[in-house]
Structure 1
Amino acid sequence: MSEQASRTVIPPKDETTLAKRSLGVPALVFLIIAASAPLTVLAGGATTSFAVTGEMGVPVGYVALGIILVFFALGYGRMSTFIQNAGAFYAYVTAGLGTRQGIGAAFLALVTYNAMQVGLYGVFGFTASSILNDLAAVEVPWWVCALAAWLIIAVLGVNKLDFSVKVLAVIVIAEFVVVIGVSLLSFGVAPEGITVEPFMPEHWLTGSLGALLAFGIAAFMGFESGAIYSEEAKNPERSVAKATYIAVGLIALFYAFSSWAFAMGVGPSAIVPQAQEWGPDLMFVFLDQHMPVLIVNLAAVLFLTSILAAMIAFHNAAARYFFSMGRVQVLPRLLGATGAKNGAPVAGSLAQSVLGLVFIIVFAMAGAGSDFGALYPVMTMFPWLTNAAGFGMVLLLCITSIAIMRYFNREPQRHPAFVRTPAPLIAAIGLGIIALLIMFNFDVMIESDGFSALVIVIPAVIAGSGIVGVLWGEYLRRKQPQIYAEVSTADIG
């Protein structure tokens, strides 16, 4: 069946519709940045990068990734002016590469977003349990704390998105306040003075740049989610692209600045050994040395809410992929059901919640009596699933870049030359390199001592989900052509 450039995926006009046009640019930006979790990145991501790479050039990694993703965002943002669909990657890849490939992208996106959301339950449960023990001397198993977060997210997920946005806005603003405060404190104490040492080539052109990029990409995961809410956005032809550009620039610059400032606060010569000694606790150790206990405890609580905000954002994204695929019957049509009054993707949200519950129970049972003890969820559930998600996201971005290039070049007169080819091509090459770097560094990323079958199994499951999707698309083409045709053909206006 022919798939023209003037065709793409839109929902059938039936009862399965999301709440319309309630999100402006600020709301979209909050949703995007909540997924990126600024405080979690500084306390967890940046310190881990310093520790694992053994280099102080972590800020350069964020800048380099920001540049690559700006090239991606140019085409991605322009695509959002032509296509509005809750399954953004699925719709864009369908438009550019074909229906089977689009369904493959949808399956890959489903696994990716669910893996990230579920993996965060591990670090949330561990962090909440530790905080309760430190502040109230109460010992609570990590999985009990994870279930409490699960309940909050499950309730928010079946309500109108506006409510989640208000919750996320408060959390994100608080995160920025804390990270800015840590940065200002870092410049104030700076034991070795304020220098640009982390940006010098000898700290990132030593073979470590690949590892810096591989570890840093997780900090940006979620920047693409504005397009997922395009059906619920005000003036989506403009607001989605604008929110994406703002988010990419803000995330890259803010993370580069805050990680550089933190290196100044600890000291350029000390940041790597200190990160290797303390890991994600380093920020709180640093605050404890310079601030009252009350401030340190408040920062710890906000670190917890930062993780919660990211989980809410990824839950919303996964729910909308379930919805978009159920709506066109690529998955069971029930998943396309929305709330009669609030327009929330209720069935998709419940499906994601069920998955989260199953994984919490499985890891709770598997961790009983483990040698890792209380660290079990942050040594298994968190690194395994979130790094799998990071790999899946890079693959999605790379494939989407190629799809965007194909889509624009079918009608070159309608699109600027740079956005049509050079920008998505540069993005595809850069993202493809990062995907390879993640594979080569996967043993380190999941903190495996020596060879582990997981180094092969986890990336294979992620890539395999896309292949399964392509095969399912071929099955639909042969056995259920009416569904395949519905996915393949619709006007984009």
Structure 2
Amino acid sequence: MHHSKADTVATVLARGRLGIPSVVFFVIAAAAPLTVIAGGATTGYAVTGVRGIPVSYLIVGAVLALFAVGYVAMSRRIVNAGAFYTYVTHGLGRPAGVAAAMVALLAYNAMQIGLYGGFGAVLAQFLQSQYGWNVAWWVCALAAWAVVAVLGLLRIDLNGKVLAAMLVGECAVALIFDAGMVGNPAGGTVTFDTLDPSHLVAAGIGAALVTAITGFVGFEGTVVFSEETKDPHRTVARATYIAVATTGLLYGLSAWAMSVATGPDMIVDAARADGTELVFNLVSPYLGASVVTIGRVLFITSLFAALLSFHHTVARYLFALGRERVLPAALGRTSHRTGAPKIGSIIQSSLAIAVLIGYAVAGADPVVHLFFWVTVTGGLGVLVLMTVTSAAVVGFFARIRPSEGPWRCTITPMIATLALAAILAITVREFDTLLGVAPQSPLRWLFPAAYVAAALVGTVWAHILRATKPDIYQAVGLGAESATASLRSSNAIRQPA
């Protein structure tokens, strides 16, 4: 086969542009720490009525650390921007892999697009309160969309620098807020009641665990950027562990600090009364108006950073599927100048603006109907992917007899699979509580059913490819080596069953 230089460049992501700090910035930015602290933790208290939100974050962080052990071990053997899709393919087979790909596209698009509702509403409120400007939420959302659409086509390392500046600022202000709350406890006494493990058997803890796990969504994206790192085998592993540890400790600390400031008996009522304003109201008397204003600005930039990070994740999933021709091959082409997955980025931006226009025309509530409902549903999809991927890790290493030993490749992934499956079952059971709808509402089943439909579409499509385009089917999961799949049919590790 003869390929021009342009063709070769156009199907490869820009290599060697990201080090460990850049990858960490991308994935923690997707998790949006200040958004989780100001929005997720307070919503968790208010919706679930459970005081054990801080211990929930720590427990979920521990479970995801177990998940990361097998996830990282697999990343050292397989480098592919397809992440979950690729790992499921190699561990459970091609039909399961393509099904996971469809679930991933739906889940990450839901996370990315849903965030526009939160960003638009929060920025509009800020402009009105600070400057008296009455700006519609959708105008703010479209402004963010335009910036994300442009940045999505630029060099990945440039985006990393933008996210780094935002992330450092929001983590710093979160710690300052925590110090202010713990330094001024309710009743003059610092209490640790909300960190008590006994909360894990309290009524509603399922919803609390799901609220917590949604705050971590994004950390698993380290693998998505593996092809663009300087040293994939070392960078992905370290970035993953750093992301899990940093977010878990910060979320647990901040949620606990809020309970210290209000008193553990009053935290639920305070969260229900103040909502996302709770953390700002708690620190206002002690830190001054300027610091609080900076915090509000960083809350907005936190939402923007998550928007940008998830945009890159969706674009790279589309790129991986286009490169292997599971989806149209045009998606597998990148910009010659920047190395960005150009077509995938444009497709994601087009879908986002279509949804934003639809919500604006319909007059839907941007916070409840777009931000809350859609991002919670996106978090459910990522939880499904993590559960299936953890099982795929077990299947993969059971077949190749690894040298790393059973603890890293079998025992830990099995424990993580069981823990994640339990959380997933509780999530589906209590999804009405998470959405804030009546138990008999069809929405509680409609949103989860979307992932069942996506998985079925992927499975059927995989079988169609096997019957009609066997060469493409054989290349599923091979990433950059998909073009030479026919020459590598004897390689057991790179040719999943």
> Normalising by structure 2, what TM-score?
0.93
CA distance in 2, matches of 1:247, 1:230: 15
1:471 equivalent to 2:465? Answer: no
More off after superposition, 293-302 vs 391-400: 293-302
C-alpha displacement of 1:179: 0.5
Q: Match for residue 211 of structure 1?
A: 207
Q: Match for residue 407 of structure 1?
A: 396
More off after superposition, 380-389 vs 192-201: 192-201
Tell me which of 90, 95, 101 is aligned to 1:95. 90
Q: Is the 8 A contact 1:392 1:463 kept in 2?
A: no
Unpaired segments of 5 or more residues in structure 1?
Answer: 1-11, 371-375
- SS of aligned partner of 2:13: coil
1:150–1:421 Cα change, 3 Å: same
Tell me which of 298, 306, 312 is aligned to 2:294. 298
Q: Match for residue 363 of structure 1?
A: 359
Q: Is the 8 A contact 1:112 1:392 kept in 2?
A: yes
- SS of aligned partner of 1:82: coil
C-alpha displacement of 1:232: 0.2
CA distance in 2, matches of 1:189, 1:49: 23
For residues 317-350 of structure 1, the C-alpha deviation after alignment (integer angstroms, 9 at most, x for no partner) is 0000010001111111111110101100111111
1:425–1:25 Cα change, 3 Å: same
1:392 equivalent to 2:381? Answer: yes
Tell me which of 144, 155, 159 is aligned to 1:160. 155
Q: Match for residue 408 of structure 2?
A: 419
Tell me which of 361, 382, 387 is aligned to 2:371. 382
CA distance in 1, matches of 2:220, 2:267: 31
CA distance in 2, matches of 1:447, 1:208: 13
Tell me which of 169, 173, 180 is aligned to 1:174. 169
Q: Match for residue 278 of structure 2?
A: 282
CA distance in 2, matches of 1:176, 1:62: 17
Q: Is the 8 A contact 1:383 1:445 kept in 2?
A: no
1:448 equivalent to 2:437? Answer: yes
C-alpha displacement of 1:288: 2.7
Q: Match for residue 223 of structure 1?
A: 219
- SS of aligned partner of 1:316: helix
Q: Is the 8 A contact 2:180 2:287 kept in 1?
A: no
C-alpha displacement of 1:414: 2.4
1:236 equivalent to 2:232? Answer: yes
CA distance in 2, matches of 1:282, 1:88: 37
Q: Is the 8 A contact 1:18 1:344 kept in 2?
A: yes
Q: Match for residue 482 of structure 2?
A: none
CA distance in 2, matches of 1:358, 1:323: 21
CA distance in 2, matches of 1:174, 1:61: 25
Q: Match for residue 44 of structure 1?
A: 39
CA distance in 2, matches of 1:202, 1:470: 42
More off after superposition, 128-137 vs 256-265: 256-265
CA distance in 2, matches of 1:149, 1:416: 47
Quote the sequence identity (%).
41
| 1:312 alignment partner AA | L
Say how many residue pairs are matched: 475
1:237–1:33 Cα change, 3 Å: same
More off after superposition, 264-273 vs 215-224: 264-273
| 2:448 alignment partner AA | P
For residues 56-82 of structure 1, the C-alpha deviation after alignment (integer angstroms, 9 at most, x for no partner) is 211110111111111110000011101
For residues 45-104 of structure 1, the C-alpha deviation after alignment (integer angstroms, 9 at most, x for no partner) is 111111122122111101111111111100000111011111011111111111111111
Q: Match for residue 458 of structure 1?
A: 447
CA distance in 2, matches of 1:208, 1:412: 41
Counting only pairs closer than 5 Å after superposition, residues 93-172 of structure 1 correspond to structure 2 as 93-172=88-167
For residues 103-161 of structure 1, the C-alpha deviation after alignment (integer angstroms, 9 at most, x for no partner) is 11111111111000000000111001101101110111110100000001000000011
| 1:324 alignment partner AA | A
C-alpha displacement of 1:285: 1.7
Counting only pairs closer than 5 Å after superposition, residues 296-335 of structure 1 correspond to structure 2 as 296-335=292-331
Q: Is the 8 A contact 1:412 1:420 kept in 2?
A: no
Tell me which of 417, 437, 443 is aligned to 1:428. 417
CA distance in 2, matches of 1:387, 1:378: 12
CA distance in 1, matches of 2:441, 2:285: 39
- SS of aligned partner of 1:41: helix
For residues 347-378 of structure 1, the C-alpha deviation after alignment (integer angstroms, 9 at most, x for no partner) is 111110001101100111111xx6xxxxx111
1:337 equivalent to 2:337? Answer: no
C-alpha displacement of 1:208: 2.9
Q: Match for residue 261 of structure 2?
A: 265
Q: Is the 8 A contact 2:207 2:433 kept in 1?
A: no
CA distance in 2, matches of 1:129, 1:207: 36
Q: Is the 8 A contact 1:50 1:272 kept in 2?
A: yes
C-alpha displacement of 1:384: 1.8
| 1:425 alignment partner AA | M
CA distance in 2, matches of 1:87, 1:451: 37
Q: Match for residue 437 of structure 1?
A: 426
C-alpha displacement of 1:290: 2.8
| 1:358 alignment partner AA | A
CA distance in 2, matches of 1:59, 1:337: 44
CA distance in 2, matches of 1:167, 1:240: 20
Q: Is the 8 A contact 1:96 1:403 kept in 2?
A: yes
CA distance in 2, matches of 1:14, 1:301: 39
Tell me which of 72, 79, 83 is aligned to 2:74. 79
Q: Is the 8 A contact 1:187 1:194 kept in 2?
A: yes
| 1:56 alignment partner AA | R
| 2:12 alignment partner AA | T
Q: Match for residue 3 of structure 2?
A: none
C-alpha displacement of 1:450: 5.0
For residues 238-267 of structure 1, the C-alpha deviation after alignment (integer angstroms, 9 at most, x for no partner) is 110111011111111121112112211222
CA distance in 2, matches of 1:54, 1:33: 27
CA distance in 2, matches of 1:248, 1:290: 31
Q: Match for residue 481 of structure 1?
A: 470
C-alpha displacement of 1:200: 2.1
CA distance in 1, matches of 2:31, 2:402: 36
Q: Which runs of 4+ in 1 moved over 4 A?
A: 488-493
CA distance in 2, matches of 1:407, 1:388: 28
- SS of aligned partner of 2:154: coil
CA distance in 2, matches of 1:284, 1:195: 21
